[in-house]
Amino acid sequence: MADNQTEFKVRQRYNNLREFYRHLTLYGVVNLSLILIWAVSGGGYFWPITVLVVWGVVIGLHAVSLGLVPIIDDIFPFFSSDWEEQQVKKMLKESKSSKREDKDEKKTDPKSS
């Protein structure tokens, strides 16, 4: 069962990366075409910049979501894929320790009897 889940996660990760690289390739081809059209049509105002910037931001966000920009995980730890799991474990540990402290206080506190 665990092997199937691990294999599923690996395949899902691979598919996500493949889609990202397809997206990146499409970005390059389309924007190169737009720049060539701009250059052949005589230049002037560089109108392809709008597509380059907007689509570039989308590509950047896609890369961040896949963890391909590791420095982002250092700056914004909640972007990392295992952050939620770490936080849940931390809160569960804190919850268990606070319950133990409450039980210890009730045992040692003579007023509670």
Is pTM beyond 0.75? Reply is no
Query: pLDDT tens, 31-75?
Result: 999 999 999 999 899 999 999 999 999 999 898 888 787 777 677
Q: What is the pLDDT of residue 79?
A: 66
What is the overall mean pLDDT for the chain?
84
Q: What is the pLDDT of residue 1?
A: 58
Concatenated DSSP letters for 51-100? HHHHHHHHHHHHHHHTT--HHHHHH-GGGSTTHHHHHHHHHHHHHHHHHH
Buried b or exposed e, range 51-66, using 16+ CB within 10 angstroms: ebeeeeeebeebeeee
Q: How far is CA 13 from the centre of its chain?
A: 12
87: tokens are 């936080």
Q: What is the pLDDT of residue 59?
A: 95
Q: Are 81 and 67 in contact (CB under 8 A)?
A: yes
Locate the domains of the chain by residue range: 2-79, 82-113
At residue 23's C-alpha, the angle toward residues 78 and 15, to 5°, is 65
